[in-house]
Chain A
Amino acid sequence: MGHGKMKLNKIVSTLAGTLAATLAGLCVAFSLSVTSSFASGDDETPHYPLKHPKEASWSFAGPLGHWDIGQLQRGLKVYKEVCSGCHSMDLVAFRNLTALGYSDKQVKAFAAEYDFPTGVDDETRSGKITDRFPNPFASKEEAKESNNGAVPPDFSLMAKARAPERGFPTFVFDIFTLYAENGPDYIYSLLTGYEDAPAGREIDEGLHYNPYFIAGDVLAMAAPLSDDLVDYDDGSPQTVDQYSKDISAFLMWAAEPHLAERKSMGFKVLIFLAIFAALLYFVKKQVWAGLKTEGAGNARSTTPAASLVSATPKTTSAKTTVSKKVVAKKVAAPTVKAKAKKASATKAKKPAAKRLKAGVDFIDDIELVDGIGATIAKRLQGEGYGTLTSIAKLSGKKMAEVADSVGASKRYEREEWQVQAREMIAGKPPRAKVDQDTVARLSAKAKK
């Protein structure tokens, strides 16, 4: 029987292995088929962009990324002189330009170059710093009309809204290389990527071939840049390549003005977290190491009584049991008393220990004695007699003294405290139903 099962185990194991291999094979097969369909280009729906964006180098890339202010200023110039003829930038206000290194005065002057309708007749006013870049067209319809049916998209979020997929497994590596520049890379590639259509590809009038375009192989916008189109006064090359880079960087800033702040804060946060984690690691290690040297025990158990009791939670909050304070008192008690207690505890231990080994039925708590409630129990604990074992072996005289001191001089005999305690130590259940339930519940738990 057992042998047969083993054999079966082996068979199923082999099956599982085969299954895993098959599934893995399927994965490889389909990734190959995908690659081949890309290569042959005969897929029903071609995947755009035809070419992955070129990866340019950006000052704002990486964990210490920051803006190249000169580049942003050049980019603004390209936007103003070339792009803004068709593309709006609704979310960027003139006031934001102070981040590009301009003074308030310069920004004010810049804003004033634009005219805005006042809304009264055809009157206009000059721009204020709180204005946003104006839309070159009065309406969507007008934009369509003057652009061959295509509305030039708004530029505010362009650098984040155009991000061609990186594909597997590149997107996994990106997590570690922190590559997050596919937006600006895309814009840069598109602007520098116009080329003649391949032979056989007929292109409608008003459309232009560009293998980097995200939504097809042609787009309505003609190549907008040409060498020496915009004058740079900082000596940067006046080439399509440089213009494209500068406008892409500018658009990244427009899409995420807090990017540099984000990265510099991130760097600090990560350093902080790394140090914090290291400190926590050592604290945790130290604390857990204390556990090992102690053996398997619990750091908190302090007295033999407590270790027998093994912590008895109470059903009602009003009831309290052995407190640390009491424990402390016990420890500090005169040696004679301690010795006596110890002796009695050892004697009583035998049956108790036996029961405990089974993990059941005996809980060394004075409160289990029928007649002793929370108040008396507390007083008894205060006297150092919080456990059954501690009163079980007291002499009659001593018991009378103890009972007297807790204000139960008449009751202790009538209620047979000591008898009860001895009974329980010997393995009998508590007399009171409530206490029986408590013990039963706890021991049931322990048995599990």
Chain B
Amino acid sequence: MAHEQHGIYEPKNGFMQWIDVRLPLPRLVYDSFVAYPVPKNLNGWYTFGGILSIMLVVQIITGIVLAMHFAASTQLAFNSVETIMRDVNYGWLIRRIHANGASMFFVAVYIHMFRGMYYGSYKAPREILWILGVIIFLLMMAAAFMGYVLPWGQMSFWGATVITGFFSAIPLIGTGIQELLLGGYAVGNPTLNRFFSLHYLLPFMIAGVVVLHVWALHVTGQSNPTGVEVKNFRKETVPFTPYATLKDALAMVLFFIVFAWFVFYLPDYMGHPDNYIPADPLVTPAHIVPEWYFLPFYAILRAITFNIEIPFTGIVLIDSKLGGVIAMFGSIIVLFFLPWLDTSKVRSARYRPLFRQFFWIFAGVCVALGYLGSRPAEGIYTLLSQIFTAYYFGHFLIILPLLGWKEKPSAIPASIADAVLADKKA
């Protein structure tokens, strides 16, 4: 793990020396968060990694407190959450932070991912870094979904019913997987119990993968808006502390302002009112919708309304349900291959005029899919979902590979320092 870095750890006193030769943890911290070189030219979009770390901590701390008061039983869950809201000291605050924290976590992770896509942060040698990120994203989705089930409201129950239903579409083993997830044949007490257990486990798994993610980051070094690797460490990087630490801290506080805005003033904005109705297996809500952060994927799931058949025989290869599930999971799986699907040698969209345009179209398509996911699956909505779903996959499977081959990038600066100087002149 030899690096160029800003300064060497020096134990300040006898005690620290004693520690240092036995378990050099302070040294590790120093190397990783003090002396670690950070490209000077990182912009605000690069602060979301730090924001995500603090959000994970916030979620774990509030979650542990909530778990002290939560009763994982179909008979008690809904009211135990209401007890937290009404009678537990500051329970309302802790739960609001946790519930809105999940949403803010996704806000941050989506910005973080789109930033990575824009600046080509996933390209060699950062493929594993990117893949670890996608794994964290998947774990987050699982954790968030299971967390949403716990309050045992109408949307919790029916959301769980719909989403676990996906698995039954898998041929042969699907029903088995579904029953394993549910702990029975339908969503019930065993489901709630295992979801609670897993919801408590997953954040710690996320924390573990985050450690790998940060490790991979510190091996390759951070990418930067120019996409040009650091050439002159002395000229082009600054020590993590105090420079990046302060910048990240500022970004966190600004992010907390937005966070607090929702927690204190719009706490139910991102939730669904039906979740204030206790779960009732006999009453299906008019529209079952997942949390907003799953809506694009939900739209993709519902876009596949047709069976895939062998022409002229009528033999169904993939029915629409399985097709939808494949498309939905595929839309995330494809992210794993992004480093190889994007064939361009140039990292940053700054120097890729065409990619830049396609990037923004892609971002718009994702937002549009999110909106469509919140609409009932009927009429024009279905058609639009299909068009945008096709585009989503087209972006990764056709546009990116071709762009790398055909696009003529604009002039790339020789180094970060050059780019910064050019910016200053302009």
Contact A273 B353 (CB under 8 A): no
Among the listed B267, B365, B380, which residue makes an inter-chain contact with A262, where contact means beta carbons less than 8 Å apart? B267
Whether A298 touches B234, Cβ cut-off 8 Å, given contacts A13-B357, A180-B266, A284-B246, is yes
| 8 nearest A-B pairs in the assembled complex, by CB-CB distance | A266-B264, A161-B276, A163-B273, A296-B235, A317-B24, A16-B357, A157-B276, A284-B246
Query: CB-defined interface of A104-125 with B at 8 Å, one 1/0 digit per residue?
Result: 0000000000000000000000
Contact of A396 with B by CB under 8 A:
no
Which A residues touch B247, using CB under 8 A? 284, 288
Contact B353 A297 (CB under 8 A): no
B interface residues with partner A (beta carbon < 8 Å):
1-8, 10, 20-21, 24, 27, 31, 35, 40, 79, 82, 85-86, 92-93, 96, 229, 231-239, 242-243, 246-247, 249-250, 253-254, 256-257, 260-261, 263-269, 273-274, 276-277, 286, 353-354, 357-358, 360-361, 364-365, 368, 371, 376, 378-381, 384, 387-388, 391, 403, 406-408, 417
Which positions 144-164 of chain A face chain B at CB distance < 8 Å?
Answer: 153, 156-157, 160-163
Contact B4 A270 (CB under 8 A): no
Instruction: Name A's interface SS.
Output: helix
Which A residues touch B93, using CB under 8 A? 262, 265
The contact sample of 11 A-B pairs, CB cut-off 8 A, is: A6-B408, A23-B391, A157-B276, A161-B273, A266-B265, A299-B239, A310-B4, A311-B8, A322-B8, A441-B2, A445-B2
CA distance in complex: A315, B31 (Å): 13
Among the listed B40, B232, B266, B268, which residue makes an inter-chain contact with A178, where contact means beta carbons less than 8 Å apart? B266
Whether A446 touches B233, Cβ cut-off 8 Å, given contacts A45-B376, A317-B27, is yes
Which B residues touch A134, using CB under 8 A? none
Query: CB-defined interface of A284-319 with B at 8 Å, one 1/0 digit per residue?
Result: 100110010000111111000001001111110110
Which B residues touch A63, using CB under 8 A? 265
- Closest A residue, CB atoms, query B82: A91
Interface centre among B242, B254, B265, B361 (most CB of A within 10 A): B265
Contact A296 B417 (CB under 8 A): yes
Which A residues touch B86, using CB under 8 A? 91, 96, 257-258
Interface centre among B2, B35, B92 (most CB of A within 10 A): B2
CA distance in complex: A315, B8 (Å): 12
Q: Which of A27-35, A342-350, A399-407 is the interface stretch? A: A27-35
- Closest A residue, CB atoms, query B27: A317
Contact A280 B2 (CB under 8 A): no
Contact of A8 with B by CB under 8 A:
yes
Contact B408 A160 (CB under 8 A): no
Whether A12 touches B8, Cβ cut-off 8 Å, given contacts A163-B268, A298-B234, is no
Contact A446 B4 (CB under 8 A): yes
Which A residues touch B264, using CB under 8 A? 262-263, 265-267, 269-270
Contact A297 B257 (CB under 8 A): no
Query: CB-defined interface of A38-53 with B at 8 Å, one 1/0 digit per residue?
Result: 0000001100000000
Contact of A353 with B by CB under 8 A:
no
Which A residues touch B360, using CB under 8 A? 20
Contact B273 A317 (CB under 8 A): no
Which B residues touch A37, using CB under 8 A? 379
Contact B354 A359 (CB under 8 A): no
Cβ of B117 to closest chain A Cβ, rounded Å: 16
The size class of the interface chain A forms with chain B is 35 or more
Which A residues touch B2, using CB under 8 A? 313, 315, 438, 441-442, 445
Contact A277 B257 (CB under 8 A): yes
Contact B249 A280 (CB under 8 A): yes
Among the listed B243, B277, B379, which residue makes an inter-chain contact with A288, where contact means beta carbons less than 8 Å apart? B243
Contact A26 B286 (CB under 8 A): no
Whether A274 touches B257, Cβ cut-off 8 Å, given contacts A12-B406, A30-B380, A325-B10, is yes
Contact A311 B7 (CB under 8 A): yes
Which A residues touch B417, using CB under 8 A? 296
Among the listed A45, A175, A269, which residue makes an inter-chain contact with B260, where contact means beta carbons less than 8 Å apart? A269
Which B residues touch A436, using CB under 8 A? none
Contact B268 A160 (CB under 8 A): yes
Among the listed A157, A163, A277, which residue makes an inter-chain contact with B250, where contact means beta carbons less than 8 Å apart? A277
CA distance in complex: A261, B266 (Å): 14
Which B residues touch A296, using CB under 8 A? 40, 234-236, 417
Contact A277 B92 (CB under 8 A): no
CA distance in complex: A13, B354 (Å): 6
Contact A448 B361 (CB under 8 A): no
Cβ of B206 to closest chain A Cβ, rounded Å: 26
Contact of A173 with B by CB under 8 A:
no
CA distance in complex: A26, B27 (Å): 57
Which A residues touch B276, using CB under 8 A? 157, 160-161, 255
Which positions 417-447 of chain A face chain B at CB distance < 8 Å?
Answer: 438, 441-442, 445-446
Which B residues touch A33, using CB under 8 A? 379-380
CA distance in complex: A445, B230 (Å): 10
Contact of A323 with B by CB under 8 A:
yes
CA distance in complex: A47, B24 (Å): 64
Cβ of A299 to closest chain B Cβ, rounded Å: 8
Which B residues touch A91, using CB under 8 A? 79, 82, 86
Contact of A135 with B by CB under 8 A:
no
- Closest A residue, CB atoms, query B360: A20
Among the listed A26, A180, A281, which residue makes an inter-chain contact with B265, where contact means beta carbons less than 8 Å apart? A180
CA distance in complex: A280, B257 (Å): 13
Which B residues touch A288, using CB under 8 A? 243, 246-247
Interface centre among A9, A33, A276, A296 (most CB of B within 10 A): A296
Contact B361 A320 (CB under 8 A): no
CA distance in complex: A180, B417 (Å): 49
Which A residues touch B266, using CB under 8 A? 174-175, 178, 180
Contact A448 B229 (CB under 8 A): yes
CA distance in complex: A215, B286 (Å): 8
Contact of A324 with B by CB under 8 A:
yes
Contact B96 A262 (CB under 8 A): yes
CA distance in complex: A269, B90 (Å): 14
Contact of A73 with B by CB under 8 A:
no
Which B residues touch A299, using CB under 8 A? 239
Contact A174 B269 (CB under 8 A): yes
Contact of A101 with B by CB under 8 A:
no
Which B residues touch A157, using CB under 8 A? 82, 276-277
Contact B234 A317 (CB under 8 A): no
Which B residues touch A20, using CB under 8 A? 357, 360-361, 364
Whether A23 touches B268, Cβ cut-off 8 Å, given contacts A262-B93, A310-B4, is no
Contact B364 A23 (CB under 8 A): yes
CA distance in complex: A148, B182 (Å): 36
Which B residues touch A307, using CB under 8 A? 234
CA distance in complex: A256, B84 (Å): 12
Other CB < 8 Å A-B pairs besides A270-B264, A288-B247, 7 of them? A8-B406, A20-B361, A23-B364, A270-B257, A273-B256, A296-B417, A301-B234
Which A residues touch B6, using CB under 8 A? 298, 300, 311
